[in-house]
Amino acid sequence: MLSGVILILLALGKAQWVSAIEIPFLNNRIPYEIDLQGNDELKDKITEDLEGQRSDNLMLKNYKDPRKVARYEQDIIERTLRSQGYYAATVTVVLEKDGDEQTAERQGAQAESESQVSGIIYQVDPGTRFVIDEVKFDLPKDIDIDRLRTVTVRQGQPFVAARVLESVEAIKKNILDEYCYFQVDVKYEAYIIPAEEKAGITFKMPDSPQVRVGNISISGQETINEDYLLRKLGLKEGQCFKRRQVDKAKLNLLRTNLVGTANAVVGAPENGVVDIAFEVQERFHRTVKAGIGYATDEGPNISLGWEHRNILNAGQKLDISSRFSEVRQDVGAELEVPAFASPDNRLILEASLGKENLDSYKSETILAGMRLEHQFSERWTGSAGTRFKYSLVNDTGTTDEFGLLSFPFQLKWDTTDDLLNPTRGWSVIGNVSPYLDMLDQEINFVKSSASGSIYFTFDTLLRPTLAMRASAGSISGVGNRDLPADERFYVGGGGSVRGYPYQTLSTIEDGDPVGGSSFQEVSVETRFRIGESWGLVTFVDGGYAFEDASQDVKQELLWGAGVGFRYYTLFAPIRVDLGVPLNKRESVDDSFQLYISIGQAF
């Protein structure tokens, strides 16, 4: 019985054992063959494990003795067999020697030289697969055993190591989700009966009191309001104690961007409750920001900013930013109030002054607004607000005055792994904004748009990332020529269709783009990593802004393509893209466009 238990423990620890040990291997690997009849699935599993061992353990090249290689790989195969429930299996090693075969003995034989062995044959007789004859539970009496039976291995199933470990995790998750135990430590004991080709398992957990959350305290903060941090925890006195919620509370503190470390000390149970004391260390709350960029169509640009992430001592963030280029100058301020009326809300107040000098129009604007953002889940966010923009716009030689009151709404789903350098996941954003011109009762319209992007990264040579994006939008209620020029859609440029001048992919009149009441954009980009710091990019972009809001037009998209380089910093990649127009327009498009900025194109 003891030997059976030891075999089981070795099998169930197989994955950890293989990854932890690094054994030398041959530079020129000896060919091998798995001789196993009638069970292709098991043969594939053995081959997968053996190939993984040969591939990952680079130190194995120091082995020069083929017998040592064969014996080591024989152990790997036997462990794989046990992990799949074949405890009576036999593995015979045959060394092919210049066309002859010789069975390798485990003891007493002299080593063959490397040059004498042309291959290794592993003859596998799996025998009968052991099945589970008995499943027992030794758990605290309050736990519903019948419910656990639905998430664990059952009588009559093959005795497979991975399924046993999955059952342990499933039991642990169920207990953590449904009960308030102070300690949850689920383990298993297993045995085999070789004569009957059967196995038994007992899932065990030591008894532990069920408790509730008692007093919650926070220490270590110097300028941050304690009540604000307590609200961010997501814990309440009297609720069911769950350690994963304590871990989530620590993460919530770090996500405020106000503390650099957050630790939790859980007290001993007393009278059915446990006190929780959080210890934090504040970060610096002020940041000065500066950036430079360049685009052929816009020229050089400079951005400057200042941020205070705790301006009113309760996580309120004040962000002052400015940008200056040949075609655009603006300065703005944004105040973010977190946990506004709810831990999942953010109130954002904004104001800005701007000036644009584009081929399509010239404008001067004053903007003020507010919006409420709500975090529905980890992936879902939404916002609603109001905004007023006073503008002077000149697009036809005369200056028009507008006072636009808008009500922007947004929904966003985002699973991407990084804001400035996404490599996996996808996101979808939808926007709808009704507009009313307070200075002209006849100009009322609705502006809507949607965009989606998706990212795939492959763990192969150069770690390529395939990035794809599509966007579309339309404006209804007013004809294109009656719209304020600075509210029309424009396509073209570094963040749109590369290779074309900024905002020029629309109808051209007298050498100037008109803009559109609808637009479409698509982009496909392949990003390759060269070492840790450098990257190469190839891309194809297409798009156009149509005068017709329905997009039911014969005008096709215009396309651009090019290559780019990336230099990856700790913060974000530095982007250099060179794009060329594939549908070059006479007297409008240059032969190429160069873009330099921070962050990926999308």
Q: Which amino acid, residue 502? A: Y
- How high is the pLDDT of residue 2? 36
Phi-psi region of 197 (alpha: psi -120 to 50; beta: other; left: phi over 0): left
Residues 6+ apart with CB under 8 A from 51: none
Q: For residue range 236-246, list pLDDT tens digits in order.
A: 999 999 999 99
Phi-psi region of 462 (alpha: psi -120 to 50; beta: other; left: phi over 0): left
- How high is the pLDDT of residue 98? 64
CB burial string 555-568: b at 16+ within 10 A, e below? eebbbbbbebbbeb
pLDDT band at 107 (very low <50, low <70, confident <90, very high): very low
Report the pLDDT averaged over residues 103-109. 45
Give the torsion sign (CA, 382, 388, 392, 393). positive
Query: Distance between CA atoms of 590 and 602, rounded to whole angstroms?
Result: 23
Our measurement of the distance from residue 99's CA atom to the centroid of its chain's CA atoms, rounded to an integer in Å, reads 53
**Is it the case that residue 457 has pLDDT exceeding 70?**
yes
**Which helix (DSSP H) or strand (DSSP E) does residue 50 occupy?**
helix 40-56
Q: For residue range 32-85, list pLDDT tens digits in order.
A: 999 999 999 999 999 999 888 887 766 655 667 788 888 889 999 999 999 999
- How high is the pLDDT of residue 442? 84
Q: What percent of the chain has pLDDT over 70?
A: 90
Q: Which domains does the chain have, with CATH numbers?
A: 2-125 (3.10.20), 131-204 (3.10.20.310), 212-282 (3.10.20.310), 286-598 (2.40.160.50)
Mean pLDDT of the residues in the chain: 89
Residues 6+ apart with CB under 8 A from 419: none
Half-sphere exposure in the Cβ direction for 439 (13 Å, CA): 11
**Is it the case that residue 106 has pLDDT exceeding 80?**
no
Query: Distance between CA atoms of 53 and 240, rounded to whole angstroms?
Result: 45
Phi-psi region of 397 (alpha: psi -120 to 50; beta: other; left: phi over 0): left
pLDDT band at 97 (very low <50, low <70, confident <90, very high): confident
Query: Distance between CA atoms of 55 and 91, rounded to whole angstroms?
Result: 22
DSSP per residue over 119-161, as a string? EEEEEEE--PPPEEEEEEEE--TTS-HHHHGGGS--TTSB--H
Q: What percent of the chain has pLDDT over 90?
A: 72
**Is it the case that residue 599 has pLDDT exceeding 80?**
yes
Q: For residue range 135-178, list pLDDT tens digits in order.
A: 999 999 999 999 888 888 999 999 999 999 999 999 999 999 99
Which span out of 10-19, 69-78, 212-221 was modeled with the highest average pLDDT?
212-221
- How high is the pLDDT of residue 52? 85
Closest CA to 165 of 152, 150, 177: 152
Q: For residue range 265-316, list pLDDT tens digits in order.
A: 999 999 999 999 999 999 999 999 998 888 887 889 999 999 999 999 999 9
- How high is the pLDDT of residue 65? 79
**Which helix (DSSP H) or strand (DSSP E) does residue 201 occupy?**
strand 198-204
**Is it the case that residue 3 has pLDDT exceeding 90?**
no
Query: Distance between CA atoms of 305 and 5, rounded to whole angstroms?
Result: 65
Give 587 or 350, the one with higher predicted confidence. Answer: 350
Closest CA to 294 of 567, 580, 577, 581: 577
pLDDT band at 22 (very low <50, low <70, confident <90, very high): very low
Residue 46 has a CB neighbour count (10 Å cut-off) of: 24
- How high is the pLDDT of residue 6? 36
Structure letter (DSSP) for residue 258 = S
Structure letter (DSSP) for residue 117 = -
